[in-house]
Amino acid sequence: MELPFSEACERNKGPILEVLRKVFSKTETVLEIGSGTGQHAVHFSTHLPHLVWQPTELGENVAMLKSRIDFEGPGNLLPAKELDVLRIDWGLEETDAVFIANVFHIAPIDVMHSCFKGMSKCLKQVGTFCVYGPFRFGGEFTSPSNAQFDSSLKTNNPEWGIRDFEQLCQVAEEEGLAFQHNYSMPANNQLLIFKKHSQTGNLSLDSTQD
């Protein structure tokens, strides 16, 4: 059976998993936003069997996601659900954590705002949000290749582009999430960790290479 495949997912799933082993060590439920081909969902749920992993996608992409889950998914990987983050009511149960990868830079900025707003409602207290992808810091790209990537994104769609870390933190803070940690990842990507609580986070560029 030929399944949908992303080369980027295949490359980065290992390094991301090593961070999630630590970040999700005491987590029971995870909501993944924009699960795409399902490679991340299958890999993480397989290697983190203590989690119940909920994958989601936009309506037109659910069938693609479902094909991989049905074929490869372990018992702790739930059936794919439809989710449009622009909706006011997501209609989902509360969760301990939310994971999202490679979405914010290939979507209008409204998607990022709506994602934080909806997530703040479905995350349990002291819940965790993990976001993977390329980001700018202090208005600067982390590499020439990321600058070129940003230019190509905006050529395809002017509303797309690599987002600013500082803007992400501001939006998160407005929705009750505080920045906790920045893990540097391969190919000039980052894995940013936020926590839901009442205190303001420390917006330092604390970074760990994994």
Q: Is residue 2 part of a domain?
A: no
The 3-class SS string of 71-132 reads: HHCCCCECCCEECCCCCCCCCCCCEEEEEEECCHHHCCHHHHHHHHHHHHHHEEEEEEEEEE
Name the residue with tokens 């992993």.
53
Q: Is residue 210 part of a domain?
A: no
- The pTM of this model reads 0.93
Instruction: Report how far Cα 76 is from the mean position of its chain's Cα atoms.
Output: 19
| pLDDT: which is higher, 69 or 3 | 69
Give how many domains the chain has, as a whole number.
1
Q: Is residue 171 part of a domain?
A: yes
Q: Is residue 1 part of a domain?
A: no
pLDDT, tens only, 25-84: 999 999 999 999 999 999 999 999 999 999 999 999 999 999 999 999 999 999 999 999
Q: Which residues pair with 55 in a beta bridge?
A: 32
Q: What is the domain-level CATH number for residue 110?
A: 3.40.50.150
Please give the Cα distance from 53 to 31 (Å, whole number). 6
pLDDT, tens only, 150-179: 999 999 999 999 999 999 999 999 999 999
Residues spanned by the domain of 172:
7-205
Q: Is residue 70 part of a domain?
A: yes
Average pLDDT on 193-201 reads 73
Q: Is residue 142 part of a domain?
A: yes
Query: Are the CB atoms for 92 and 83 separated by under 8 Å?
Result: yes
pLDDT at site 4: 86
Q: Is residue 199 part of a domain?
A: yes
pLDDT, tens only, 96-148: 999 999 999 999 999 999 999 999 999 999 999 999 999 999 999 999 999 99
DSSP for the chain, please give it: -PPP--HHHHHHHHHHHHHHHHHTTT--EEEEE--TTSHHHHHHHHH-TT-EEEEEE-GGGHHHHHHHHHHH--TTBPPPEE--TTSS------EEEEEEES-GGGS-HHHHHHHHHHHHHHEEEEEEEEEEE-EEBTTB-SSHHHHHHHHHHHHH-TT--PEEHHHHHHHHHHTTEEEEEEEEEGGGEEEEEEEESSSPP-----EEE-
Query: Are the CB atoms for 206 and 181 separated by under 8 Å?
Result: yes
Q: Is residue 29 part of a domain?
A: yes
